[in-house]
């Protein structure tokens, strides 16, 4: 049996994250609650796009991409991310499979920490693979 992703009420989901200005790259997504390693932060919702679609914000989803709604559209890249994208397969009943994209933590996250994913491994779709990385982590690749 495939485990089901956690569910949150709309209010609870958005109370767990905030969108704030970052010193290096505009807006970012920040923890408004503490998270344990492997904990679900929230479901990423948005418009599903066909294969080949790319934009500054889109994330790989199924065979195409998803253009995420706020607040998750503001998750920034890090070469040493504290989160990852996980695609859940859900039994929709009568043999129907449904899919959801979720943000989960990779390690403990404290209130106020910026939530990040590795765009190269996190399912984000970039139109410019030579984008300079501004993450500042000790193991930074120098590009996204």
* Sequence spans of domains, the chain: 10-117
Average pLDDT over residues 58-87: 91
Average pLDDT over residues 18-47: 93
pLDDT at position 106 is: 97
pTM: 0.82
Q: What is the mean pLDDT of the chain?
A: 84
b/e 80-105 (16+ beta carbons within 10 angstroms → b): ebbbbbbbbeeeeeeeeeeebbbbbb
DSSP single-letter state for residue 72: G
Give the pLDDT band (50/70/90) at residue 14: low
125 pLDDT higher than 60 = no
pLDDT tens figures, 87-118: 988 887 888 888 899 999 999 999 999 999 99
Determine the Cα–Cα distance for residues 79 and 58; give it in Å rounded to an integer: 18
CATH 2.30.40.10 for domain 10-117: no
Give kind and range of the element (H or E) at residue 43: strand 40-44
């Amino acid at each position: 049996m495939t485990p089901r992703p956690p569910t949150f009420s709309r209010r609870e989901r958005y109370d767990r994250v905030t969108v704030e200005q970052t010193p290096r790259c505009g807006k970012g997504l920040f923890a408004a609650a503490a998270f344990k390693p492997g904990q679900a932060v929230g479901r990423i919702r948005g418009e599903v796009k066909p294969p080949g679609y790319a934009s500054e914000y889109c994330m790989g989803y199924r065979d195409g991409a998803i253009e995420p709604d706020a607040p998750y559209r503001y998750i920034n890249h890090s070469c040493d991310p504290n989160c990852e994208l996980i695609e859940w397969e859900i039994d929709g009943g009568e043999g129907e499979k449904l899919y959801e994209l979720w943000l989960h933590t990779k390690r403990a996250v404290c209130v106020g920490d910026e939530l990040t994913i590795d765009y190269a491994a996190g399912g984000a779709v970039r139109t410019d693979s030579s984008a300079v990385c501004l993450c500042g982590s000790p193991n930074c690749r120098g590009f996204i």
